[in-house]
Amino acid sequence: MERKIVRVSDVMQTSVHMVSGLASVRDAISEMNRHNVSSLVIDRRDNDDEFGVVTVRDIAGQVVARNRSTERTSVYEVMTKPAMTLDTEMNVKYAMRALSRFRLTRALVTHGKELLGIVTLRDMVLGYVNSVEATEAEE
């Protein structure tokens, strides 16, 4: 019995919402609310830069819990940079292992320097389990 390999590209979300690192945390929260997401990508400033990510967890722990102003705190002060990236063709088993090892819940999906999407542990676990169950149902 040969199992189908589930790739990161099979389970990733291609809709990526971005914010400038210079934006205020208040602006980032507004963008998260507008798109109903819990993370935003910070674009590279140039080809030699790396992508960043700001999450609700970053804002909760570094801004709200410390009683900092969301209007006067910039995204670059609380974002994670460089963000974890995974190649589109990576087997989700290894992608889940990498995220778990670093205690992360999401990673950007790239091919070379091109940003193609974002993937979460939830996306990978559900996508993997659904694929395995579909394969077993076919047999």
pLDDT of residue 101: 96
Structural contact between residues 78 and 62, judged by C-beta atoms closer than 8 angstroms: yes
- DSSP 8-state assignment for residue 65: T
Backbone angles phi and psi of 116, in degrees to 5: -110, -20
What's the pTM? Answer: 0.88
How many C-alpha atoms does 17 have within 13 Å on its Cβ side? 16
pLDDT of residue 138: 67
Sheet (strand 114-120) strand order: 85-87, 106-111, 114-120
pLDDT of residue 13: 95
pLDDT of residue 112: 87
How is the chain split into domains, by residue range?
Answer: 8-138
CA 60 from chain center: how many Å?
17
pLDDT of residue 131: 80
pLDDT of residue 69: 97
Topology (CATH level 3) of domain 8-138: CBS-domain (3.10.580)
30: helix, strand or coil: helix
Distance CA 107, CA 86 (A): 7
pLDDT of residue 99: 97
User: Along the chain (139 residues), what's the average pLDDT of each consecutive run of 10 residues?
Assistant: 82 96 97 97 92 97 97 97 96 96 96 94 92 69
pLDDT of residue 54: 98
